[in-house]
């Protein structure tokens, strides 16, 4: 059984926290270490689902209404 973390690492969407010692600088970001083509494909599929799927659009609108940024949603 594969770990979800390994799959996320391969795509390059694992969160990365920038810190040095005890200080934390800014927000966490995705690592972008993995497969760029696969990451771009996941983005395009999600964007298409938001545009053409009512359920995905409703979920996106609910997440944005709670205060998340549009790209993060």
Taken in order 67, 16, 57, 37, the sign of the CA dihedral is: positive
Q: Are residues 43 and 30 in the same domain?
A: no
Q: Are residues 29 and 42 in the same domain?
A: no
Under 8 Å between Cβ of 59 and 28 = no
Strands (E), the chain: 15-16, 19-20, 23-24, 29-30
Model-level pTM greater than 0.75?
no
Q: Are residues 42 and 12 in the same domain?
A: no
Q: Tens of pLDDT along 21-38?
A: 666 666 666 677 777 888
Domain that holds residue 48: 37-73
Q: Has residue 1 got a pLDDT over 50?
A: no
């Amino acid at each position: 059984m594969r770990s979800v973390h390994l799959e996320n690492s391969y795509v390059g969407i694992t969160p990365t926290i920038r810190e040095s010692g005890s200080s934390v600088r800014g927000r966490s970001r995705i690592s972008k270490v993995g497969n760029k083509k696969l990451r771009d494909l996941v983005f395009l599929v999600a964007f298409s689902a938001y545009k053409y799927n009512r359920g995905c659009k409703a979920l996106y609108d609910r997440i944005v209404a709670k205060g998340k940024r549009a790209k993060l949603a």
